[in-house]
């Protein structure tokens, strides 16, 4: 390409890839279920086989997270995802209601513009590609500018596997020259039928503002409530491990502990034994100043960092054994910066006396940047768990598991997903874990099961006009007169 301005190169690349994707998708829309499943199995296996290398690439390019944890997320988004969706019908008649005589017929969306984040770049590329192709769509990935190389390589691996298995060339592609104007051009392109956006709030708002169908996800300020009935040893191990996982870059990772007062001291000691270092007030203030220097959005340089890296940035000292940093907080909101979403290894700590007070504190945290997303609860009392499930304004309530791996479907039965909807209350169109079902429309072939009403079939006599609205019924008048004569 000539030495044009990078914005122009990005715009042209978006147009080129979208234009190439269109005929590929039209051809792919004619594939049989067997052909679709053969190609998807091949791309899932190719992505799985490259998971470790792609995980290392993601960390090296972005500076976020832990390579082995990136690999596990890649496993989730390739082989584990395929196991979850492989038997889902996406071609032709997918459901038939014999009693109602309705046939549901799957219909692909078309070309999908997939915006991926820097925090989970390779796993999100794998995930969106697999669910898109399974639903007979084409996909063009628009990576975050700081994660271009690893996303391009991920898409290349999957595309080559797809073509080798019989898919048309151009079905899977990824932008390599990424700028905001280029990404906007992809979203607005005439051949783009659906936008699948995962990333920061500004990017998701931009996706929703284009005027095309879009799935976007909001931030997740996820509280974890620990009830007095909880298995405290397991809870401490789970919270610390989940918060430390990939240095806390998954949006469903625990952001603040709300501990029931009678067990708070014991839980804190157990968490310390698992690697949670409780900072003092001065250290907490230093962390807040560096993590949130100018408002509620986290400093990108602090995202996905170890406690030791954060300590160096903030000019404080933490032990080598620290896996996460916990800060005792008193309030929620702008005056307490660490009460917000922290995509790094810093965890808030609150105490509340009783589950009702814990419920109130959790709702405060959810309303401060996490509406519609997720909540974690550790308890053995099922009544308390159900109350949290019924009352919390979030769409994933995870009981006695990790936030990071539970919400994404690794340790729970929810659909494996790297795009977690936050529903209408969170500014998204759905609260679901986005999966293959969201990637196609459904046509309905419906037979008559109820005859039309006789009145609708009766035609007025030729030349006669219908009675004016409000006119008395002649037959009724005659009946009334005869009745009066008899009396």
Q: What is the mean pLDDT of residues 182-200?
A: 93
Under the banding of pLDDT at 50, 70 and 90, the label for residue 104 is very high
How much is the pLDDT for 484? 64
Q: Which of 40, 251, 314, 359 is catalytic?
A: 251
How much is the pLDDT for 270? 98
How much is the pLDDT for 258? 98
92: left (phi over 0), alpha (psi -120 to 50) or beta: left
Q: What is the mean pLDDT of residues 254-279?
A: 98
Under the banding of pLDDT at 50, 70 and 90, the label for residue 486 is low
How much is the pLDDT for 4? 79
Under the banding of pLDDT at 50, 70 and 90, the label for residue 463 is low
How much is the pLDDT for 485? 55
**C-beta neighbour count of 147 within 10 angstroms:** 25
How much is the pLDDT for 200? 66
Q: Is 251 a catalytic residue?
A: yes
For the domain 222-409, what is the CATH code? 3.40.309.10
Under the banding of pLDDT at 50, 70 and 90, the label for residue 466 is low
Q: Do domains 6-217+435-443 and 222-409 have the same CATH topology?
A: no
Q: Where do the domains of the chain lie? A: 6-217+435-443, 222-409
Under the banding of pLDDT at 50, 70 and 90, the label for residue 461 is low
Q: What is the mean pLDDT of residues 363-386?
A: 95
Percent above pLDDT 90 for the chain:
84
Q: What is the mean pLDDT of residues 253-268?
A: 98
Architecture field, domain 6-217+435-443: 3-Layer(aba) Sandwich (3.40)
How much is the pLDDT for 399? 98
Q: Which residues contact 246 (CB under 8 A, 6 or more apart)?
A: 64, 65, 66, 69, 70, 73, 304, 404
Under the banding of pLDDT at 50, 70 and 90, the label for residue 209 is confident
How much is the pLDDT for 428? 85
Give the chain's length. 487
Least confident among 19-33, 152-166, 216-230: 216-230
Q: Is the dihedral of CA 438, 439, 443, 449 positive or negative?
A: negative
Whole-model pTM above 0.75?
A: yes
φ, ψ at 401 (rounded to 5°): -150, -175
- Going by the DSSP 8-state scheme, the letter that residue 420 receives in this structure is B
How much is the pLDDT for 375? 96
- Write out pLDDT tens, residues 322-355: 999 999 999 999 999 999 999 999 999 999 999 9
Least confident among 170-174, 206-210, 321-325: 206-210
Residue of 89 and 208 predicted with greater confidence: 89
Query: What does 322-380 look like in DSSP terms, one character per residue?
Result: -SEEEEE----BTTBGGGS--SSSEEEEEEESSHHHHHHHHHHHHHTT-TEEEEEEE-S
How much is the pLDDT for 190? 97
Q: Which residues contact 353 (CB under 8 A, 6 or more apart)?
A: 260, 261, 262
* pLDDT higher than threshold 90 for residue 147: yes
């Amino acid at each position: 390409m000539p030495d044009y301005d990078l914005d122009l190169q990005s715009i042209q690349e978006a147009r080129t890839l979208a234009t190439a994707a269109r005929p590929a998708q039209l051809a792919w829309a004619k594939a049989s279920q067997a052909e679709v499943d053969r190609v998807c199995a091949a791309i899932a296996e190719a992505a799985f086989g490259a998971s470790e290398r792609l995980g290392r690439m993601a960390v090296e390019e972005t500076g976020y997270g832990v390579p082995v944890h990136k690999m596990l997320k890649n496993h989730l988004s390739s082989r584990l995802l395929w196991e979850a969706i492989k038997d889902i019908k996406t071609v032709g008649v997918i459901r038939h209601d014999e009693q109602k005589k309705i046939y549901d017929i799957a219909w692909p969306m078309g070309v999908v513009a997939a915006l991926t984040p820097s925090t989970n770049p390779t796993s999100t590329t794998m995930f969106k590609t697999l669910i898109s192709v399974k639903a007979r769509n084409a996909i063009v990935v628009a990576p975050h500018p700081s994660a271009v190389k690893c996303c391009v390589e991920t898409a290349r691996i999957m595309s080559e596997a797809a073509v080798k298995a019989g898919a048309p060339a151009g079905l899977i592609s990824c932008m390599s020259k990424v700028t905001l104007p280029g990404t906007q051009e992809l979203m607005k392109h005439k051949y783009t039928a659906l936008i699948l956006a995962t990333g920061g709030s500004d990017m998701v708002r931009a996706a929703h503002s284009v005027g095309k169908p879009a799935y976007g996800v909001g931030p997740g300020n996820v509280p974890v409530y620990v009830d007095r009935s909880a298995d405290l040893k397991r809870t401490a191990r789970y919270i610390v491990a989940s918060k430390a996982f990939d240095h806390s870059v998954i949006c469903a990772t625990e952001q603040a502990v709300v501990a029931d007062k009678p067990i708070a001291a014991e839980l804190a000691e157990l968490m310390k034994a698992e690697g949670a270092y409780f900072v003092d007030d001065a250290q907490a203030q230093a962390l807040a100043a560096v993590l949130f220097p100018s408002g509620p959005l986290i400093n990108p340089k602090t995202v996905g960092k170890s406690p030791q890296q954060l300590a160096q940035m903030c000019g404080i000292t933490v032990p080598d054994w620290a896996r996460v940093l916990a800060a005792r907080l008193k309030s929620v909101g702008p005056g307490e910066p660490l009460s917000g979403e922290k995509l790094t290894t810093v965890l808030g700590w609150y105490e509340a006396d009783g589950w009702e007070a814990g419920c109130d504190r959790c709702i405060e945290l959810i309303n401060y940047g996490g509406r519609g997303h997720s909540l974690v609860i550790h308890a053995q009392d099922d009544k308390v768990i159900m109350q949290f499930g019924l009352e919390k304004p979030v769409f994933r309530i995870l009981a006695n598991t990790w936030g990071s791996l539970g919400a994404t479907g690794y340790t729970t039965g929810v659909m494996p997903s790297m795009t977690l909807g936050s529903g209408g209350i969170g500014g998204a169109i759905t609260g679901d874990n986005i999966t293959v079902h969201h990637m196609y429309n459904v046509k309905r072939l419906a037979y008559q099961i109820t005859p039309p009403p006789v009145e609708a079939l009766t035609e007025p006599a030729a030349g006669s006009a219908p009675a004016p609205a409000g006119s008395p019924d002649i037959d009724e008048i005659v009946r009334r007169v005869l009745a009066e004569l008899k009396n």
